[in-house]
Amino acid sequence: DAKTTQPPSMDCAEGRAANLPCNHSTISGNEYVYWYRQIHSQGPQYIIHGLKNNETNEMASLIITEDRKSSTLILPHATLRDTAVYYCIVYGSSNTGKLIFGQGTTLQVK
């Protein structure tokens, strides 16, 4: 399974963009990059996913590098409610339905 590497913590000023990086240098061609977040004591929540093109939805944007070895989750205007642990996960059909959550990045919006 492809592994991901994320910084353990980041800070962001309220109203500014939060850019959360993720390295996944061993990603396979058919594996997607998923992002989830977990607000304190709640279950994780799906944010966005992508294969190789940049993706945007109402919550965030996902930028994947051309070589697909890294990606960045962008929260365009962070609010205090975005304070959470953010998980970057690589998933493909060979994972047989299993998502493997790492330690994630704790984002503190101040």
Partner 1 sequence: DAGITQSPRHKVTETGTPVTLRCHQTENHRYMYWYRQDPGHGLRLIHYSYGVKDTDKGEVSDGYSVSRSKTEDFLLTLESATSSQTSVYFCAISDVSGGHNEQFFGPGTRLTVL
Give me the residues that bind partner 1 (CB under 8 A), please: 30-32, 34, 36, 38, 41-46, 49, 51, 87, 91-93, 95-104
Half-sphere exposure of 65 (CA within 13 A, CB side): 12
Minimum CB distance to partner 1, residue 106 (Å): 11
Please tell me the distance from the alpha carbon of residue 86 to that of residue 43, in angstroms, as a whole number.
Answer: 12
Give the type of residue at 95.
Answer: N
Give the type of residue at 107.
Answer: L
Q: Which is nearer to partner 1, 7 or 92 (CB)?
A: 92
Minimum CB distance to partner 1, residue 37 (Å): 11
